[in-house]
Amino acid sequence: MARVVIDPVTRIEGHLRIETEVNGGRVTDAWSSGTMFRGIELILRGRDPREAWIWAQRICGVCTTVHALASVRAVENALGIDIPDNARLVRNIIAGAQNVQDHVVHFYHLHALDWVDVTLALKADPAKTSQLAQSISEWPKSSAVYFKGVQDRVKALVASRQLSLFSSGDWGHPAYQLPPEANLLAVAHYIEALDMQRDFIRIHAVLGGKNPHLQTYLVGGMSTAIDGNEPEAVINPERITLFNELAARAKTFVQQVYVPDVLAVAGFYKEWFGYGEGLGNFMAYGDMPAGSIDDPAGFFFPRGVLLGRDLGTVHPVDAGRITEYVAHSWYDYSVGDQASLPPAKGETNPKYSGPKPPFEQLDTEAKYSWLKSPRYDDKPMEVGPLARTLIAYASGDEQVKNTVDGVLAHFNAPPTVLFSTLGRIAARAIEADIVVQKLPDWIAQLDDNMAHGDVRIHNGDKWDPESWPRSCAGFGLEEAPRGSLGHWVEIENKKIVNYQAIVPSTWNAGPRDAQGQRGAYEAALVNTPIADPERPLEVLRTVHSFDPCLACAVHVIDGKGRRYGHEAMAMPEPEGSTSLLPAPAAPVFGGL
């Protein structure tokens, strides 16, 4: 038996450590540990709830903006504020753009290199690559000359010794199965996606004033001026045209590049429809309201819970059934560490009891993560694009059902193959396709409101704290690209007295709970085949399929050296640190 440790898991934001037990070429058990602490909840105490979103969105720089939205929703819920229709639309457009951009970046820049061997792309025949490209898509950048040019640029990069972006791949690993031409095609689209994502996210720069970390949220709506007759207004007819152009270009890219690539790559890795299943429980709070945030029936992303792989019954979501355990997390609860607490009464009392870094192995019988273990009705849940897609599918959403059935028909496979590593990747592409088609609707509604003289975008009725009750509490739920996100706020005497966030990666990457139930990553890794314990590429495939974002789940560094594919039991001495980060004896807390 070998203990295979990956720390840090790279191509993510933040620090994640995965320990797996490997027997006979398969993972037999796994532990997921967030190795950074997030202190934003503590920083928010005592602050004006109207400014909470500015701080909260600094939880992460990748899924920027999602925490701003969850935060204003939480405060609006606590104070009983309805937002104007234009604010709803602008928020949907921002969130929809974030969803599409994040999914594209995830597939090409954070995940593709687990499936695509860049070194093999250099051996491809550009003419055959052109044939392959034209057989799967109408996308015009598909000539042999074009692929030759891409190949030359990658060769030049390799020759300059600056492998940079491509330096973390396991090149030559036996688990890479794409022919050279498919590798070159994917590398070409990796580069095109760099351009696409930066062009498309200009929607955020316009509607948010800047990107990342948009500046235009307000409790009660948005601060983006809207005026059809005012060239200086953020939203005017000229800007509507720009949004439509950006959305149209993104739609073409998603439909002609992203989706065909996912189908093509998946075709070479069909066995991965059989690995990485995990919990079989899925949850989505739902999002993208058609009207009030309190009317989930009008959500574009439906709300629901699926249990035990059963697509036949969509259970309702009752936010009151969400709790968090710290039995295996480096926190103290005043009610005892075996109990769970609802986030509305959540506590953030950090107490590190893990080994002093650098260390070989965590004591996974005890506490081993900075993430708590969120549970719904005491059950672990997977959240994210797969959960949303399955819940929409099981809810009978026509568009999702047709798209999913089309993908399943392509592979001649039943819906159960979606409970897998490839299922997560496919669901993300399906979702991007559906959202990018929805964006023009929201843009058109905004345009229509403007044309009819409805330019109201902020409800200031309860802006004055004198109008607030002496004490109140609320929560804001959202579907961020990576999954269900919730913020809980308690307000007393016009100040925040408690703030809690449960982010998607806490649901997915959290440790075991007091009953020993595994979190989603931990469950998904069991049974993963491992060809070479020194280079556990297969573990990365499943972990990356969740789109981990650990800066979100935890924050503040306790630095350790890079140990990648390290067999802890066989090699007692850790490798030297390649990181500039310090290795403190105890974790440090920023901003306190």
Point out the catalytic residue in the list 130, 181, 329, 549. 549
Part of the chain binding other proteins (CB under 8 A), chosen from 153-161, 388-396, 476-484, 496-504: 153-161
Rounded to a whole number of angstroms, the minimum distance from the CB of residue 547 to other proteins is 13
Q: Does 198 bind other proteins (CB under 8 A)?
A: yes
CA 426 from centroid of its chain's CA atoms: 15
End-to-end CA distance of the chain: 43
C-alpha closest to that of 108 among 192, 35, 34 = 192
Contact 395, 296 (CB under 8 A): no
- For residue 557, the cross-strand partners are 36
Element (H, E) at 424: helix 421-451
CB 116 within 8 A of CB 183: yes
Kindly tell me which residue out of 59, 132, 154, 434 binds other proteins, with binding defined by CB under 8 A: 154
Which of residues 55, 115, 147, 166 is near other proteins by CB under 8 A? 166
The two structure tokens encoding residue 46 = 């005592």
Q: Residue 526 CB, nearest distance to other proteins (Å)?
A: 27
Assess 249 for contact with other proteins (CB under 8 A).
Answer: no
Task: Kindly state whether residue 212 participates in binding other proteins, applying the rule CB under 8 A.
Answer: yes
Residue 17, SS3 per DSSP: strand
Q: What's the half-sphere exposure (Cβ side, CA atoms, 13 Å) at 151?
A: 24
Stretch that binds other proteins, among 38-46, 193-201, 254-262, 406-414 (CB under 8 A): 193-201
Q: Which is nearer to other proteins, 36 or 489 (CB)?
A: 36
Q: Is 590 in the site for other proteins (CB under 8 A)?
A: yes
Binding residue (CB under 8 A) for other proteins from 138, 195, 310, 318:
195
- The answer to whether 576 contacts other proteins (rule: CB under 8 A) is no
CA distance 102 to 432: 9
The whole-angstrom distance between residue 591's C-alpha and the CA centroid of its chain comes to 25
Active site residue 482: yes
Q: Which 32-61 residues touch other proteins, going by CB under 8 A?
A: 61
d(CA 336, CA 493): 29
The count of other CB atoms within 10 Å of the CB of residue 30 is 24
DSSP code for 468: S
Q: Name the segment binding other proteins (CB under 8 A); options: 174-182, 188-196, 503-511, 541-549.
A: 188-196
Is position 10 an interface residue for other proteins (rule: CB under 8 A)? yes
Confirm whether 472 is a catalytic residue: no
CB of 161 vs other proteins, minimal distance in Å: 4
When the beta carbons of 135 and 162 are compared against other proteins, the nearer one is 162
Site size toward other proteins (CB under 8 A) is 35
Question: Per-residue string for binding with other proteins, 108-147, x by CB under 8 A?
Answer: -x--------------------------------------
Beta strands in 505-589 (DSSP E): 563-567
The minimum distance between CB 157 and other proteins, in angstroms, equals 5
CB of 153 to other proteins, least distance (A): 6
Which among 467, 50, 461 is positioned nearest to 219, based on CA atoms?
A: 50
Among 135, 162, 353, 471, which residue sits at the site for other proteins (rule: CB under 8 A)?
162
Helices (DSSP H) in 377-494: which residue ranges?
385-394, 398-411, 421-451
In the set 122, 233, 344, 588, which binds other proteins (CB under 8 A)? Answer: 588
- What phi and psi values does residue 211 have, to the nearest 5 degrees? -145, 135
356 touches other proteins by CB under 8 A: no
Sequence-ordered list of residues with C-beta below 8 angstroms from that of 101, at least 6 positions apart, any chain: 197, 200, 201, 250
567 catalytic? Reply is no
The CA–CA distances, whole Å, from 187 to 251, 257, 473 equal 20, 12, 49
Tokens of 463: 């802006």
Residue 590 CB, nearest distance to other proteins (Å)?
6
Closest CA to 340 of 317, 362, 321: 321
Asked if 164 touches other proteins (CB under 8 A), the answer is yes
Residue 350 in contact with other proteins, rule: CB under 8 A: no
Place of tokens 């199965």: 177
Told to judge if 398 belongs to the known catalytic residues of this protein, a careful annotator would answer no
Closest distance of CB 58 from other proteins, Å: 11
Among 45, 123, 153, 155, binds other proteins (CB under 8 A): 153
Q: Please, which residues have CB within 8 angstroms of residue 481's CB and are 6 or more apart in sequence? A: 63, 66, 98, 99, 102, 103, 106, 385, 547
Amino acid at 345: K
Closest approach, Cβ 194 to other proteins, in A, equals 5
Task: Pick from 88, 557, 558, 560 the residue near other proteins by CB under 8 A.
Answer: 557
Cis geometry, peptide bond prior to residue 8 (ω within 30 degrees of 0): yes
Q: Which residue among 3, 4, 5, 11 contacts other proteins (CB under 8 A)?
A: 11
Interface residue with other proteins among 122, 194, 319, 472 (CB under 8 A) is: 194
Q: Out of 24, 46, 145, 160, which residue is the one contacting other proteins (CB under 8 A)?
A: 160
Identified catalytic residue from 11, 33, 38, 63: 63
What letter represents residue 348's amino acid? T
Does 215 help bind other proteins (rule: CB under 8 A)? no
- The Cα diameter of the chain in Å comes to 71
Helix axis angle, 421-451 relative to 398-411, nearest 10°? Answer: 150
**Binding residue for other proteins, selected from 1, 24, 161, 573, defined by CB under 8 A:** 161
Q: Check 11, 13, 41, 130 and give the catalytic one.
A: 13
Please identify which of the residues 482, 487, 512, 563 carries the catalytic annotation. 482
What distance in Å separates the CA atoms of residue 585 and residue 509, rounded to the nearest whole number? Answer: 25
Q: Does 547 bind other proteins (CB under 8 A)?
A: no
Asked whether position 191 contacts other proteins by CB under 8 A, the answer is yes
Active centre residues (catalytic):
13, 60, 63, 67, 482, 505, 549, 552
Binding site for other proteins (CB under 8 A): 10-13, 61, 109, 153-154, 156-157, 160-167, 190-191, 194-195, 198, 201-202, 211-212, 557, 579-582, 584, 588, 590
